[in-house]
Structure 1
Amino acid sequence: MTHATPITQSPDSPDPTRIDDVLTVVAERRLEFEEKRHIPRDVIDVFKRAGLYRASTPKRFGGDPLPPARFLSLIERISAVDGSAGWVASFGSSLVYLAALPLETQAELYADGPDVVFAGGLFPVQTAERVEGGYRVRGRWKFASGCPGADVLGVGIKAGEDATGRPLTAVLRPGQVRIADNWNVVGLRGTGSHDLVVDGAVVPEEWTFVRGGEPTVDEPLYRYPTVPYAAQVLAVVGLGVARAALDQAIAAGGRASYTGAPRPADRATYRIAVGQAEAQLRSARAFFYEATEETWETVVAGGPATARQTGLLRLAAAHLAKTSFEVVRAAYQLGGIAAIADDSPMQRYLRDASVVPQHAFLQEGMYDGAGAVLMGVQPFPGFL
């Protein structure tokens, strides 16, 4: 049982029956994802058919760009079944970055259709050599989630500074990139977040962009703050995992104890812990979607998101990631000795949820940045 935002069909929404197909396939193959340490391409194709990888493609190029809250709720549902699948599906949002490419480049990118999978290993930023018409790119980049199933890949480069001082992202085809198979981690094992290696590929200037840079597409989704959105799609993975873990703890209330002690549901301490966790999770979730909807209303009306709205998006995302992990940890402890078994989903929930707040976008420093914005002082560089 989950408590995600209901998904209703609309002209710009993925087919609900195909989302059900995604959930079925993910449930059947989630152990395979952990074993292989990536989501296989045939599963990525299921995600594509459900519309997840056209959810941030501009309408002018055949996409069905979804309002952020609608896309986030889809990722929440998938993550409640498997965190790694939700994490990789969440990058269906990442084409908002590529909206900063020249329109002619985007037309070429989407020439074969709007269902394009983009994965990026943007850090550490590597110095690129300027050559005629572009850049010669060399180096190694970390944490390229979903790279085994990507159609295009991005890496962070520096070749002088643009007006903002921010690095460029160079877009390459898979044949120009080597994936270094080194994703050996405690949680979210199925995300395939390997290193990317490039050895001298030349990337034309028109295939580079500044992440979060000014979009060349004038549609509402591309006025929504891009870096906060990138944090949100990851934070909501933790939410889905936490919902699954807490639902399991609730369902386990009627089980018999190994020691003959009262059932969990008959113990006040168990009931109190469940009630507190439910309140924590629902409160963080409500704040998260409230901030999303408020900002979306602003950009749909034609205005830019305010600094306060951007700060609240980042705050809500970091707070959701932190709270979700706390809820999963509480559910794991409620699971008792049974939770430590390899065949218990509870230990997988704990491992997966522990990774989410470790992401640079979701660490506790975001509270500092948000607090600065709320009090009218300058936040740390890159927060807004």
Structure 2
Amino acid sequence: MTVHSVTDRVVAEPAGAARAAAFDHALDVLRDRRDEFNAARFVPRDFIALLKRSGMYRASTPNRFGGEPMAPADFMKMVERISAVDPATGWVSSFGSSLVYFAALPVESQAMIYADGPDVAYAGGLFPMQEAEKVPGGYLCSGVWQFASGCRGADIIGIGLAGGPDTGGKPLTALVRPEDVEIIENWAVAGMKATGSHAVRADRVFVPEAMTFVRGGPPQIDEPLTRYPSLAYAAQVLSVVTLGAARGALDYVVEVGAARSSITGGSSKGNRPAYKNGVARAEAELRSARAFFYETTESVWRQAVLGETISAEDRALLRLSATHAAHVGRSVVLAAFDLAGTGAIYETHPLQRFLQDALVPAQHAMLQTNTFEAAGAVLLGLDAGIPSFP
């Protein structure tokens, strides 16, 4: 399956100053259009094209196919900066990391996907896993899959299939072209509206077996990024959205608190003891969670680059740092909301964007509170109690 981009074969700007400028331009456009994206409930294709120009959609394409794989920390810092402007768009941009899953495909299949270039936008609506009819050469797929974030701007979509004897019972992801499925616009939510995480429906769509893979399965290409734990990375790129949201919220209350006077003409909010204390505590919590998150990421990345064994404990720490960041980030946004006072309850208040979106990542199955227990179990040498953890 050669991917014909819905964004008209947009390619990244040359690495260096031009690409950095493209990213800064995308952030400027986002500041102007984030309300539009929120109202439309999806990030449009023309903005995905801007992110492609910034290199985000070749950041996990293997080097051998023209990609320019980024160190996870470097990629996630880009997601974090986007999320500080608009968390929902940050969530969509985070899936620039998800081509790491394709490394489990046969090499020939990967070559077909990247035949027209390395800048590929992928969206996955994987659940619930559906039974597919096995036919010669592949599967006939029918069903409805939920939570396909970014599907309105994707070049390729993944759907989840229940595994069988051929896969050792492990579920499969089947890759389909967007035009072969129907997008069901059912994303009626309070937070992360602009992610466009609609459902997708397929009706007896044939998917060649060579275009299916076990999510997180053994990579068929050996590069540093394919050695980095893919499922942990999937949790991290969602978690870092909350760190960005917390940064955006905290920057707002610092700016307001630094004003010389309040809206009533009285002393600045920042002069109030509770405000100063709240800002300081939130800043310390955010920076501490962020330090743990990136310290763990960079430690495991060094092992991947050197080809060293990445242990279950290493992967558990990645998952723990991701869960911790999502929950701390959420608490920082709530602290900023408290500091902002009554005005923050209005729908049009700047903090509402961060509040509504920042509550969502920690609700994700990969970041819920039970993953704290699972990480602790692995660190103690016990069974995690959660499938595919860490």
Q: Same fold (TM over 0.5)?
A: yes
Corresponding letter in the other structure for 1:100: A
Deviation at 1:342, TM superposition (A): 2.6
SS at match of 2:359: helix
| 2:239–2:322 Cα contact (<8 Å) kept | yes
Unaligned runs of 5+ in 2: 1-12
1:1-384 superposed matches below 5 A: 15-162=19-166, 164-255=168-259, 256-258=261-263, 262-380=267-385, 381-384=387-390
Question: Number of residue pairs matched?
Answer: 376
Corresponding letter in the other structure for 1:213: G
Corresponding letter in the other structure for 1:249: V
Structure 1 CA distance, aligned partners of 2:243 and 2:17? 21
Corresponding letter in the other structure for 1:328: V
Deviation at 1:263, TM superposition (A): 2.2
| 1:12–1:66 Cα contact (<8 Å) kept | no
Structure 1 CA distance, aligned partners of 2:168 and 2:278? 48
Deviation at 1:19, TM superposition (A): 1.1
Deviation string 1:341-361 (CA, Å, 9 cap, x unpaired) is 232110111001011111111
CA 1:12–1:232: 2 relative to 1, 3 Å? farther
Deviation at 1:260, TM superposition (A): 5.7
Deviation at 1:204, TM superposition (A): 0.5
Corresponding letter in the other structure for 1:281: L
Deviation string 1:123-176 (CA, Å, 9 cap, x unpaired) is 110011100110110111110000000010001102414555320000000111
| 2:330–2:359 Cα contact (<8 Å) kept | yes
Structure 2 CA distance, aligned partners of 1:120 and 1:359? 15
Deviation string 1:242-262 (CA, Å, 9 cap, x unpaired) is 001001111111443455654
The worse-fitting range, judged by mean Cα deviation, of 333-342 and 176-185 is 333-342
Structure 2 CA distance, aligned partners of 1:160 and 1:371? 31
| 1:12–1:64 Cα contact (<8 Å) kept | no
| 1:128–1:136 Cα contact (<8 Å) kept | yes
TM-score of the superposed pair, with normalisation by structure 2: 0.93
Deviation string 1:284-326 (CA, Å, 9 cap, x unpaired) is 0000000100100111111231111100000000110000010
Structure 2 CA distance, aligned partners of 1:13 and 1:101? 34
Structure 2 CA distance, aligned partners of 1:318 and 1:342? 28
| 1:67–1:296 Cα contact (<8 Å) kept | yes
The worse-fitting range, judged by mean Cα deviation, of 360-369 and 337-346 is 337-346
Identity %: 53
Structure 1 CA distance, aligned partners of 2:124 and 2:117? 20
Deviation at 1:266, TM superposition (A): 1.4
Structure 2 CA distance, aligned partners of 1:227 and 1:331? 31
| 1:100–1:210 Cα contact (<8 Å) kept | yes
CA 1:123–1:161: 2 relative to 1, 3 Å? farther
| 2:86–2:353 Cα contact (<8 Å) kept | no
Corresponding letter in the other structure for 2:156: V
Corresponding letter in the other structure for 2:389: F
Deviation at 1:12, TM superposition (A): 8.8
CA 1:111–1:14: 2 relative to 1, 3 Å? farther
Deviation at 1:45, TM superposition (A): 0.6
